[in-house]
Amino acid sequence: NKKIVLTSRPNGEVKTECWKLVHEEINGDIDPGEFIVKIDSISIDPAMRGWINNVESYIPPVQINETMRALGLAVVVDSKHEKFNKGDLLSGMFGVQEYCKLNSDYAIEKIDNTAENINTSIFLSALGMPGMTAYFGLTDVARIKANDTVLISGAAGAVGSIAGQIAKIKGCTVIGIAGGEDKCRYLIEEAGFDDAIDYKSNIDLNEAIAKSCPKGIDVFFDNVGGPTLDAAIKHINHKARITVCGAISQYNAAGLSIHAEIDYIPILFNSARLEGFVVLDYYHRYSEGVKEIVKWMNEGQIKSKEDIRHGIENFGDYFNLLFNGGNFGKLILKP
Ligand code: NDP
């Protein structure tokens, strides 16, 4: 079994030296209650940056010399567990590795992939955690309604692109912020956004938001934080809702320091709301979100984009793509 372990805690950007490729033998004998899976796809997520800091958050930190934690899809290769049979496709926290022997079904779900022409990576993108983040972040946290002007940062990413498409379905005007011409073109031409702001072109973000959102912002779905949040807050409307989904511009800041220059007075003046959320809180409601998104995908109203990479040994380089914008769509690793 090849696997990636954490060897040291990063300070700032995660250097590849923080990871080590380890080979180990897995004993193929299984006792009653145990099962072995072969990992098919590994989800590379911004949240991993938080998991390797020595900080208690909604989940304990990954320990030094521990296999890196990761969500993934896996196929059962041998089982003496009552719930799982050989050949079953499962989703769960299997880690950054090729194989995994388990004895608990905690947070492991069986996936029905019997539908024809289904690409399994969809269960880590639109029909997985990112899709659920977009869905509940908009419906429950932002409580979007028709005719809202919705601004989305990190718009061409796994969560952002689904969020924008859901907001369009709900009858909103949707503007995305993303880095680069290709991503902005994708948002308008493929994902149906009304407008896109390329924050990496030589623009003043504040002026660009004013131009793209002439009626102000009713909902800001923020994946980025920092100066992007500062700029968006200046344009919020009465009773605006800001969903703090992520703050990727801040994750590499030493000690996870929080950007502290937000002028929050517009939140006061506009009787607005800024609310964070963790999608795991909605785990018990995932089937509701999946049902809706499957329906919209079947109707051709939602497209999912995945960026699939290969080779577990390259995990460290792939992880950094999330922080330099090198990924285009849900970043998935095939070991
Ligand atoms: P993405 O697929 O969006 O990949 C990350 C993207 O972030 C990059 O491609 C890059 O896009 C953008 N980015 C990176 N650094 C910066 C920066 N300094 N300024 C602006 N943009 C930047 O990842 P996900 O869709 O998986 O995650 C998006 C966000 O959602 C993250 O903040 C993540 O933590 C959060 N999240 C929150 C969850 C929750 O439960 N609250 C659950 C899942 C995700 P570009 O090329 O446009 O710069």
Q: What is the pLDDT along the chain (335 residues), one digit of tens a residue?
A: 999 999 999 989 999 999 999 999 999 999 999 999 999 999 999 999 999 999 888 889 999 999 999 999 999 999 999 999 999 999 999 999 999 999 999 889 999 877 766 789 999 999 999 999 999 999 999 999 999 999 999 999 999 999 999 999 999 999 999 999 999 999 999 999 999 999 999 999 999 999 999 999 999 999 999 999 999 999 999 999 999 999 999 999 855 555 556 788 999 999 999 999 999 999 999 999 999 999 999 999 999 999 999 999 999 999 999 999 999 999 999 99
**Residue 145 forms part of a structural domain:** yes
Q: What is the pLDDT of residue 262?
A: 76
Question: What local confidence, expressed as pLDDT, does residue 187 receive?
Answer: 98
Are 136 and 189 in the same domain? Answer: yes
| CA 152/CA 160 separation, integer angstroms | 6
Q: What's the total number of domains in the chain?
A: 2
CATH of the domain at 43: 3.90.180.10
Q: Are 241 and 222 in contact (CB under 8 A)?
A: no
Residue 156 and residue 59 share a domain: no
Q: Do both 220 and 258 map to the same domain?
A: yes
Query: For residue 36, how far is its CA from the centre of ligand 1 (angstroms)?
Result: 32
Which sign does the torsion angle of CA 46, 173, 285, 86 carry? negative
Cα–Cα dist 232/242, whole Å: 9
CATH number at residue 245: 3.40.50.720
The response to whether residue 224 sits with its C-beta less than 6 Å from ligand 1 reads yes
Which of 234, 265, 280 terminates a domain? The answer is: 280
Residue 247 belongs to some domain of the structure: yes
Query: Of ligand 1's atoms, which has the minimum distance to the CA of residue 159?
Result: 25
CA 225, CA 238: separation in Å to the nearest integer?
Answer: 21
Domain identity same for 157 and 73: no
Q: Does any domain span residue 300? A: no
Residues 69 and 161 in one domain: no
Q: Quickly list DSSP for 42-85.
A: EE--THHHHHTSS--SSSPPPPTTSBPP-EEEEEEEEE--SS--
- Judge if 52 and 69 occupy the same domain: yes
Domain containing residue 201: 129-280
Do 78 and 196 share a domain, yes or no? no
One domain, residues 313 and 192: no
User: Does residue 120 sit in helix, strand or coil?
Assistant: helix
The answer as to whether 287 is a domain residue is: no
Residue 164 shares a structural domain with residue 90: no
Ligand 1 atom closest to Cα of residue 280: 40
Q: Is residue 285 part of a domain?
A: no
Decide: residue 322, CB within 10 A, 0-12 exposed, 13-18 middle, 19+ buried.
buried
Q: Is residue 250 part of a domain?
A: yes
The residue among 63, 94, 73, 116 whose CA lies nearest residue 308 is 73
Q: How large is the greatest C-alpha to C-alpha distance in the chain, in angstroms?
A: 65
The token pair that represents 280 in the structure block: 């795991």
Question: In terms of domains, do 173 and 263 share one?
Answer: yes
The residue to which tokens 């990576």 are assigned? 121
Measured CA to CA, the distance from residue 219 to residue 148 in angstroms comes to 7
* Cα–Cα distance for residue pair 278/104, rounded to 1 Å: 24
Q: Is residue 290 part of a domain?
A: no
131 touches ligand 1 (CB under 6 Å): no
- The DSSP code sequence of 126-194 is TTSHHHHHHHHIIIIIS---TT-EEEEESTTSHHHHHHHHHHHHTT-EEEEEESSHHHHHHHHHTS--S
In a domain, 38, yes or no: yes
Ramachandran class of 53: left when φ > 0, alpha when ψ lies in -120 to 50, beta otherwise: beta
Distance from C-alpha of 122 to C-alpha of 107, rounded to nearest angstrom: 18
- Residues near 305 by beta carbon (within 8 Å), at least 6 away in sequence: 125, 161, 186, 190, 328, 329, 330
Q: What is the dihedral of CA 335, 96, 121, 100, to 10 degrees?
A: 90
CA distance readout (Å), 52 to 17, 22, 103: 14, 18, 25
**ipTM (interface predicted TM):** 0.99
- Distance in Å, CA 155 to ligand 1 centroid: 8
Shared-domain flag, residues 262 and 135: yes
**Looking at residue 117, what is its pLDDT?**
67
CA 151 to chain centre: 17
What is the pTM (predicted TM-score) of this model? Answer: 0.96
Nearest CA residue ID for atom 8, ligand 1? 325
User: Which strand (E) or helix (H) includes residue 265?
Assistant: helix 265-269
Question: Is 245 near ligand 1, meaning CB less than 6 Å away?
Answer: yes
User: Residue type at 158?
Assistant: A
Q: Are residues 82 and 151 in the same domain?
A: no
Length of the chain: 335
Closest-lying ligand 1 atom to the alpha carbon of residue 244: 41
